[in-house]
Amino acid sequence: MSVEVRPRPEGLGAEVRGVDLARGLAGEDLAAVKAAFAEHGVIWFPGQPLTHDQLEAFTRSFGDFGWDPYIAPLADRPHILEVRREPDETASVFGGAWHSDWSFQETPPAATILHAKEVPPVGGDTLFADGRAAWDALSPTFQTLLKPLRAVHSAGRPYGAQGFYAKEAGRKGMTILPSAEADKTFTHPIARRHPVSGRTALFVNPVYTLGIEGMTEAESAAILGFLFRHMTDERFVYRHAWSPDMLTMWDNRCLLHNATGGYDGHRRVMHRTTVAGERPAAA
């Protein structure tokens, strides 16, 4: 089999065929997939039924497992989260806001991998926004302003002891574990250099970014509010539709994503792993 990469004409994302992920990736095939991932930001593999062992092996071919706090994993698989929503569930859609996974960590995950187990007949698309294209579209003057700035990230708003998930009701499919530990903060550069491609991407998001280091709340809100709107402009967004057994992976170092709903009355089940990343580097 030979790897076939089918990029979207719009520039963000690519479909990958010609591989059997159940057999594992190695050699030239693994190198080709890694190159496609670095170039396209989000890649997907249709029709790939996988066991837990095979999903974990695929994840490890890209690096160590990431650390996934505040959500209970599968009982016998500490590195696999089951993202499940039941047909009669009234809680909000998990991940239903623009974010970069675990940007509040000192070394946020490089990649997130999601494997579709049960796909509803309607809804459930995932939106992706390209932080690289959003950076490139800024004026040189604004890029110069942003390059020395660092943003403050925290998990407190969703996962803190007084956070959103601590107060919600009606969640059945997943166990959220709010904690006072979520209120810890780390700062990361707003303009982040990708360690593989070398491209610059905006690295802030509305869920985990609290403000800008050294600025007042009003000053931070003015800049971050603009960036959040700019990054998620339709010019930079791709809507991804799922099918059963599809595996999709995306680069948290340069993309935002947002899980949509629209499938009330239907069950949706995904298995999720993360690949450990590095400390974000300034552009």
- Known active-site residue 272: yes
Residue tagged active-site, from 40, 85, 240, 272: 272
* Dist CA 55 CA 35 (whole Å): 20
Residue 3 to residue 17: CA distance in whole angstroms: 6
CA distances from 259 to 124, 144, 196 (A): 7, 32, 26
The verdict on whether 101 is a catalytic residue reads: yes
Element (H, E) at 132: helix 131-136
Q: Is 140 exposed, middle or buried (0-12, 13-18, 19+ CB in 10 A)?
A: exposed
Q: Which of 180, 159, 149 is nearest to 280 (CA)?
A: 149
Contact 174, 165 (CB under 8 A): no
Residue 99 known to be catalytic:
yes
Could you give the 3-state DSSP secondary structure of residue 190?
coil
Q: What secondary structure does DSSP assign to 215-230, as a single string?
A: S-HHHHHHHHHHHHHH
User: Which token pair is 223?
Assistant: 């800049």
Separation of alpha carbons 197 and 200, rounded Å: 9
Which is the catalytic residue, given 29, 101, 130, 251? 101
Catalytic residue among 84, 99, 192, 271: 99
Annotated active-site residue 130? The verdict is: no
Residues with Cβ within 8 Å of residue 71, at least 6 apart in sequence: 81, 174, 175, 176, 177
Which distant-in-sequence residues (6+ apart) come within 8 Å of 175 by Cβ? Answer: 71, 72
**Could you list the active site residues?**
99, 101, 257, 272
